[in-house]
Amino acid sequence: MDFKFLQELIAPAQTKIAMIIMDGLGGLPLEPGGKTELETAHTPHLDALAAQSALGLTIPVRPGITPGSGPGHLGIFGYDPVEYEIGRGALEALGVDFELEPDDVAARGNFCSVDTAGVLTDRRAGRLPTDTSRELVKSLRTIQMDGVEFFIEPVKGHRFAFVMRGAGLGDALTETDPQKTGVPALAVQALAPDSEKSAHIANQFVEQARKLLAGKQPANMILLRGFAKFPTMPQYRDIFGLNAAAIAVNGMYRGVARLVGMQVLDVGGTEIEDEFATLEKNWNDFDFFYLHVKQTDTAGEDGDFGRKVRVIEQVDGLMPRLMALKPDVVIVSGDHSSPAVLKFHSWHPVPTLLYGKYVRADGIAEFGERACARGSLGVLPAKDVMPIALANAQRIGKYGA
């Protein structure tokens, strides 16, 4: 939907919307003819809610497209993930909860191994342990240059987030990773005149890193990829008229929520219960809540069907705490599918439930993939869920006379 079109119709209201996102919610049966993770899970509360809801299956990006977490979230947040692309460098920085500023240039960094001639021998430095990586990041932080500030944040294993902050830095830059061993790392090149300065700085940084890391095999060099600025996104308050809060433990999701203008709340713990407690505590202060459950996706990616079932059951057990707050509209969905049998994100449409006083309920007392396929929301782009939720929260005025 064209945000300008929607924006002009947005009307103030006192209603509250809660969006519960179980990451990678959609699944597949273990055996042909069997049930998916969600269908297997014993979910009395979600089933009861489904009976009073409209159901459907959402397509996060485009039919057949498997989304990463960034695009998956942008979709269910109401944005077209193809139109609003978050560069990989920016995502890496968001993922470690780094507060990117509009002119920062971020990149994905990683340690690698080179021989004495500077030829790449291992692009991942033997998949360095995170602890070793953290120590090496500390030494990279000693690199200083005039007119630019560097931020280096450890991610996991051999990976780190790299950020340059300063005036006149463009992000039209080539990568240093040649994508193969047996050749030297490449120099960063500017693809536009506004990025000449950042190319020069990035190359100087790599050169100083090479000197600092000399002798620290296997991590004696770095690679930088996916240079990107923080994208400017239409903000929730402006396009939807919402004072929105995000409840998420992992940096990536907190980062994407911050990107669209949500206030990211302190959870004070890493459990799903802690997230629901945060929801209760902040209920009076916002009119939209996004609550993110990571554990469904992790179980799916681990190929652990049973654990994914148990996480869904755990969320089901917490649903009464949300419903006790008397939300006007509730969305339960995922950012994409992560079937345990695939051990990976997938392209499958995502089961989605929309509850509200003015929702035309389908009367299907089950929340599952095949139940949702029979629902009146149909198979719809994920980005259409927000306007429908806003309508049901009576936050959109009439179009035309």
Residues that bind a copy of itself (CB under 8 A): 1-2, 5-6, 9, 26, 28-29, 32-33, 36, 51-52, 57, 61-71, 81-82, 85-86, 88, 91-92, 339, 341-342, 344-349, 358, 360-363, 369-370, 373-380, 384, 386-392, 396-401
Query: Least CB distance from residue 138 to a copy of itself, whole Å?
Result: 25
Nearer to a copy of itself, 51 or 325 (CB): 51
Helix (H) or strand (E) holding 74: helix 69-76
How far is Cα 200 from Cα 287, in angstroms, rounded to an integer?
46
- For residue 206, give every residue at least 6 positions away whose Cβ sits within 8 Å of its Cβ, in sequence order, or none: 176, 185, 188, 222, 224
Nearer to a copy of itself, 75 or 218 (CB): 75
Nearer to a copy of itself, 16 or 159 (CB): 159
Query: Least CB distance from residue 285 to a copy of itself, whole Å?
Result: 25
Nearer to a copy of itself, 218 or 251 (CB): 251
Query: Least CB distance from residue 257 to a copy of itself, whole Å?
Result: 16
How far is Cα 373 from Cα 376, in angstroms, rounded to an integer?
9
Query: Length of the chain in residues, anyone?
Result: 401
Nearer to a copy of itself, 150 or 344 (CB): 344
Query: Least CB distance from residue 42 to a copy of itself, whole Å?
Result: 20
Query: Least CB distance from residue 165 to a copy of itself, whole Å?
Result: 22
Nearer to a copy of itself, 82 or 214 (CB): 82
Quote the crossing angle between the two packed helices 305-323 and 44-51, to the nearest 10°: 60
How many other CB atoms are found less than 10 A from the CB of residue 115? 14
How far is Cα 123 from Cα 329, in angstroms, rounded to an integer?
48
Query: Least CB distance from residue 241 to a copy of itself, whole Å?
Result: 13
Nearer to a copy of itself, 209 or 386 (CB): 386
Across 217-234, b (16+ Cβ under 10 Å) vs e yields ebbbbbbbbbbbbbeebb
Query: Least CB distance from residue 372 to a copy of itself, whole Å?
Result: 8
Query: Least CB distance from residue 79 to a copy of itself, whole Å?
Result: 12
Residue 221 backbone phi and psi in degrees, to 5:
-165, 165
Query: Least CB distance from residue 88 to a copy of itself, whole Å?
Result: 5
SS3 string, 239-280, reads: HHCCCEEEECCCHHHHHHHHHCCCEECCCCCCCHHHHHHHHH
Nearer to a copy of itself, 145 or 342 (CB): 342
Which letter does DSSP use for residue 32 in this model? T
Angle made by CA atoms 372, 377, 383, in degrees to the nearest 5: 105
Nearer to a copy of itself, 23 or 92 (CB): 92
Query: Least CB distance from residue 132 to a copy of itself, whole Å?
Result: 24
User: Beta strands 159-165 and 105-114: pairing type?
Assistant: antiparallel
Helix (H) or strand (E) holding 44: helix 44-51
Across 362-372, b (16+ Cβ under 10 Å) vs e yields bebebbbbebb
Which letter does DSSP use for residue 326 in this model? -
Nearer to a copy of itself, 29 or 166 (CB): 29
**Peptide bond connecting 351 to the previous residue in cis, omega within 30 degrees of 0:** no
Amino acid at the residue 144? Q
